[in-house]
Amino acid sequence: MTQTSDNVTWLTQEAYNKLKEELEYLSGPARTEIAAKIAAAREEGDLRENGGYHAAKEEQGKQELRVRQLTQLLQNAKVGEAPADDGVVEPGMVVTIAFDGDESDTLEFLLASREYASDTIETYSPQSPLGLGVNGKKAGEEAEYELPNGKRAMVKILSAKPYTG
């Protein structure tokens, strides 16, 4: 799982391998593909009104940004084990909270970086207001965090279990 502190990101070996594969693809075959798209669009003529050229250049910019993000992430990565099953909220944990102490109004989410976002479970960053509020708390404790409107909200941590994928 991941935890960012002092620009260090903790990753499982599986996550590190997945991100390294993505970087290798984007740095190699994907760069060749986008260069071919740009060259083909350039041959179509006037670049000022060439939608295909501009779309390919924009795609190239996004791809290069992702390459820089992955490079920085992997340079600062430390590979380690998933967090301990000790009920303490930390990155890599699936957290269940109750809003305002109402145990019928709950939310379950994975506390992790956006690299772990999936369709199966909602993911909150450790740097998000909710993530900052619950990080380090134990099951049974309450946490306070700031809402987008500037008000404060309370939640109760019902459980924190290691994410198993």
Residue 63 has pLDDT above 90, yes or no: yes
At 117, the pLDDT band (50, 70, 90 cuts) reads: low
Angle at 104 between CA 114 and CA 121, to 5 degrees: 20
Dihedral sign (CA 89, 92, 94, 99): positive
Give yes or no on whether 4-79 and 93-162 have one common fold: no
In CATH terms, the fold of domain 93-162 is Chitinase A; domain 3 (3.10.50)
C-beta separation of 12 from 82 below 8 A: yes
**Taking the domains of the chain in order of start, what are their residue ranges?**
4-79, 93-162
On average, the pLDDT of the chain sits at 84
Please give the share of the chain, as a percent, with pLDDT higher than 70.
85
Q: pLDDT band for position 7 (50/70/90)? A: low
Asked whether 124 and 109 are in contact (CB, 8 A), the reply is: yes
Give the pLDDT of residue 80. Answer: 66
Q: What pLDDT does 5 receive?
A: 45
What does the H/E/C string look like for the chain?
Answer: CCCEECCEEEECHHHHHHHHHHHHHHHCHHHHHHHHHHHHHHCCCCHHHCHHHHHHHHHHHHHHHHHHHHHHHHHCEEECCCCCCCCECCCCEEEEEEECCEEEEEEEEEECCHHHCCCCCCEECCCCHHHHHHCCCECCCEEEEECCCCCEEEEEEEEEEECCC
Q: pLDDT higher for 112 or 152?
A: 152
Distances (CA, A) of 157 to 17, 30, 127, 129: 32, 43, 18, 15
User: Over the stretch 39-62, which tens digit does the pLDDT of each residue have?
Assistant: 988 888 777 778 888 899 999 999
Domain 4-79, CATH: 1.10.287.180
